[in-house]
Every structure is written in C-alpha cells, then in structure tokens.
Amino acid sequence: MKTLVSVFMVAGMILQAPQHPGTPTPEQIAWHEMEIQMFLCLDPCTWQGREYDDHSTPLEQINPVSLDTEQWCEAAKSFGAKQILFVAKHTGGFCWWPTETTEYCVRNISWKNRKGDVLGDLAASCRRHGLKLGVYIYPGDDQWGAGIGSGGKTADPAKQEEYNEVLRRQWTEVLTRYGEISELWFDGSCVIELGDIIQQYAPKAMVFQGPHATLRWPGNEKGIAPEPAWQTVKRANALSGGATGAHSDPDGDAWLPMEMDTTLLDHKWFWGPDTDHMLKPLDTLMEIYLKSVGRGGVLLLNATPNTSGLIPESHLARYRKFGAAIKRLYENKKGETSGEGTEFEIRFDAPTSVTHTVIKEDIRRGHAVREFRVEGLVNDVWILLAQGEPIGYKRIDTFEKVEVKALRLHITKSAATPNILQFAAYEANDPLAPLQESGKAEGIPIESWKDVKLSQDWQTVEVDLSPAIRKPGEYIIMIQQSDKGGALETTDAMVLIAGVEAPRHITPLDRPNAWRIQRTDQVTSDEKGRTTLRLRTRCIAGGQCEADLLLREATP
C-alpha cells in the first residue's frame, strides 16, 4: 500500500487523506509558509460607492484608465505578501475576465477598447514578481437570483441547473486560461458541485470553504485567530463546507487551517472617496499580525483600487510602514535553539533584554505540543513570561521588556515527541505591549423581541438582528428566561440574510433555545445588510413566559 497522500471521491466530494490523521498536506504546509497574502477587491460597486453592486452603473462608465497590475504586485510585496487573492467576480456577477458565460463582464466596458482582461494582466504580473495567484468567484450571482449567503442556490428552482452550468463554466475558464491558480475562494461556502473541475484543473490548489475546503474562516473579519488557535477539526466538520474557528479541536483528525481576512479600511472592502480616516493605524495592523501569523495562520489583508484602477498612495504608504514594522520585529535576535524534546534553553553571557519569542513546531507531526510555558531567568529565579496552547506553525509571544540570563521553553503537555524547529528570543526595536484578550462579550438584548407576545399557541416570529450585527462574524444568540412563568419551546429556527434563508449559517447549540449564527457577508445599511432570525415558539407548562433574546459576538 502506498503511504503518499491519496485523493479519492466520496459522494462527489474530494477528500485529501494525509499520511497521518490531523496532519497537513504538503500544499497546506506551503500555504502556512506564505504567512501573508493580499486580498484585492474591485467591482462595479467601487463606482457606486457601495459594498454590493446594484447594477446601477452603465458598463460604458466603468473605465479604470490607469489600472496597473504591476502596482498591485508592488503593493503586495511591500508588506510581505506572497500571494494576491483577486475578487474576479463578486455578488453582482460582473466578471473581470472576458467570460463566455455573461455579457456583464470586462469585454463590454470601454477600458482597453473592450479588449482588456484584468485577470490575465494580473496573472502575468504575479508571475513576473514571483507571487502566487488566488481567485475569488462568488458562488452566487444576483442576476440569477442566487443572492448573498445562498452558496449558489437560486431562489427559483427552475433556474438552478442552468446556473450550475454557468458557475462550472466560469471556474473552468479561469482554471484553464491563466496558469496555476494556488487558491480558490468560495465566500460563504458553495452548494454547486465543482469537485471534478477542481480535481482536473487545480488538484493542488488550496480551497477556502465549501465541501472541498482545505482552509477555513476564523469566524470574524478582524484578521484575528481565536485563542487557542488549533488548526485541526473533526473530518465531518471539514466536509461540511462551513467549518470556522468555532470547530477547532486539538484532537481533530483533519488539518483545516484558518485564514484571517481583514480590511485596511475599517470596515470597508471596496474603495470609496474620503475614506483615509478609515485606514487602520500601524499599531492595529501589528496587533493583527501578532494575532494571525503569530498564532500559526495566514493573514489576508485587503487592498482597494479606486475607479482609476490604482491603489491610492495613502494606502501604499500604510502598507510600506506595515512591512517595515514586520521586518523590524525580527531584526534584533538575541539567541535561538531547536531540536526534539520538551525543554529548551537559550543561555546568555550577560543579562540580556528580550521582548518577545518566536517558536515554530514541525507541523508535519500535527499539533504535537498541547501546552507550553516560556520562562526567563531573572536574578537566578525562573519567572513566567508567557504560556499558552498550541504552538503550531508559528507562535509569537510578547511581554514587557525584561533582562534575563536565560530563557526556557517548557512543553508541559504533548501528544507526541515535539520537534521544535525554532525557539528564538528577540528585543523589539518598536514598543510592544503584551497582547491582551478582550474576554467573552456580554449579551446585547434584542429590542424587537420585546414586541413578541408569547402564548400557549405555536406562532412564527421574525426578529431583526441588524441593530446588534453590524459587522461580519459569528454570533451567539440565546433566549434567556426569567425564573417565573412557563417554559419556552422553540423549533424551526432559521437565519435570513437579505430576506433569503441561509440554513448553513445557523447551528443549534447544546443548550435549549440557543444558536450560533454566521454572517459571512458584508453588513450594509440597506436591505442586503439585514440579518433576521425566524423561528416558531410557544409557552408551555404555565402558559406565561418572560424572556429576553440576547446576542453576543462569539470568540474572539
């Protein structure tokens, strides 16, 4: 029997079986090694000053006359990105390559005399700059009634088969025309079968969400991995197409690492005028870096070309400062060691100032390290500087500057003999404060729930959650009853996004009348930004109920 990675089909789904359960494939290891990517969002909604295309802009008005994919690549490299992930088609269905599937595409705009191909230009630029290329094609399409959160399911079942063929042709075009595509992005999962196309044309590509996923969403758009940041899940969750950071499991049998996506403009994915005040400060970007790359994942930082097709100079300046700050984080190394075992020391000839450590584990063995401590020898006494779980591909721990005669990494719990590729100590050239966790958020009462009159009869109620869900993320919603009155019973809970049922985005929790809700799409002030909970409910065992509907952000 061969012991190499095998690929096989089960019920139309691609399963990649590593040599040992809970360990990454070679492609996943290469993905980890990128550490940083650049998202790139350009769409007709850029001309509309919106986050979603409402088809109000005539195609002849879309003319990014200065569009320069070389500039995009230089921007990515300025902050250390190794790949550009390009939004080639967003929710409105406009395609930035000359597709044969729709007239709503780049060949019908005036740019380059209707002969332009942005995806083709970008693919060529990426090759020249040594960058990998990923492609985002939204699984749905407003033109087909497959709205946000639909995963490609059309509101009219009679259109489903035809749209399935459109999406399959779009992916086939992209994967056969533009060279190697290293990552495929299915925002909000995908219900249309594409496994055969992926296997035929991009068998080594990383896949974000969907039933063929090799990557998952952390559950927020803050660019932050949940703590602890286990990169493994149960295989059943991996195959669900919608696993997030909430499914992390140190004993999971599938390596499904988290990709942390976030905006440069807080919180806006597409360019708009007069938005420089929304640029994230450098210290915020560095905190994001430490809580994404520093927790063993990959950071996906957005870029927003303007209507001329260029990334604004103010954004470029922020990228350059971010890249320089990352380099400075690693410039002043004080010492390092490596090897197998559970205890490692770095000794100094004299008291030495340190501010942070970087630890790398050989993830070919999976999460061997389960718990660890970093201690410093101060006045001949070992003091605790950092502790946590896990280590994984990379772990960065910061602490107040301290002078030590030695540093010690003590692995207090492990599932196998750890192989530590690096245990290194640094003194930061920039101030670094210890990373603080915000803790569990408090539940916010949903005011519209108070208008619901509970009775002994079953009733269907819809509650607008929009006042409490203002950004994409994962949320916990629960009904909290008072001690008096009858018991509340609920059934058929469903989340609606922009009025469309999204069953993949609601999961019941282990306690009664509690659910986890995912809002993967951008939240806006119009109808598309609305998130609604619909359920059937009644009051039993007493006939009267008093309860609050509470919503809080899930970890982190």
Is 333-426 in CATH node 3.30.1490.20? no
Identify which has the larger pLDDT, 169 or 549: 169
| Residue ranges matching CATH 2.60.120.260 in the chain | 333-426
Whether the CB-CB separation of 175 and 201 falls below 8 Å is answered with yes
CA distance 440 to 328: 32
What pLDDT shows up at residue 435? 56
Q: In the chain, which residues fall in CATH 3.20.20.80? A: 6-12+22-329
d(CA 35, CA 296): 8
Dihedral sign of CA atoms 222, 226, 232, 234 in order: negative
Overall average pLDDT of the 292-305 stretch:
98
DSSP-H helix ranges across 295-432: 313-329
pLDDT, tens digit, 9 for 90 and up, residues 397-424: 999 999 999 999 999 999 999 999 999 9
Contact partners, residue 30, CB within 8 Å, separation at least 6: none
Hey, is 517 helix, strand or coil? strand
Q: What is the mean pLDDT of the chain?
A: 92
CATH number for the domain whose boundaries are 444-553: 2.60.120
CA–CA dist 318, 186 (Å, integer): 28
| Residue pLDDT, tens place only, 105-153 | 999 999 999 999 999 999 999 999 999 999 999 999 999 999 988 999 9
Q: List the structure tokens of 509.
A: 């929790």
Mean pLDDT (whole number) for 161-179: 98
> For residue 187, is pLDDT > 80?
yes
Q: Which helix (H) or strand (E) holds 339?
A: strand 333-340
Q: Which residue has the tokens 């400075």?
A: 328
Tokens read off for 65: 């006359």
Secondary structure (3-state) at 536: strand
Q: What is the mean pLDDT of residues 380-403?
A: 97
Q: What residues does 373 pair with on adjacent strands?
A: 387, 410
Report the pLDDT value the prediction gives residue 14, as an integer from 0 to 100.
Answer: 41
Class of domain 6-12+22-329: alpha beta
DSSP for 96-149 reads SS--SS-SSBGGGSSGGGGT--HHHHHHHHHHHHT-EEEEEE-S-BGGGTB-TT
For residue 270, give the nearest of 529, 89, 41 by alpha carbon. Answer: 41
Residue with tokens 């982190």: 556
Q: Which range, of 24-28, 268-272, 431-435, averages the lowest pLDDT?
A: 431-435
Taking residues 461-480, what's their average pLDDT? Answer: 89
Does the pLDDT of residue 12 top 50, yes or no?
A: no
Give yes or no for a contact between 542 and 485, defined as CB atoms under 8 angstroms apart. yes
CA distances from 452 to 23, 147, 284, 502, 547 (A): 49, 29, 41, 23, 10
DSSP, residue by residue, 1-59: ---S-EEEEETTEEEEE-SSTT---HHHHHHHHH-EEEEE---HHHHHTSSS--S-S-G
Q: What pLDDT, in 10s, does the model give residues 58-113?
A: 999 999 999 999 999 999 999 999 999 999 999 999 999 999 999 999 999 999 99
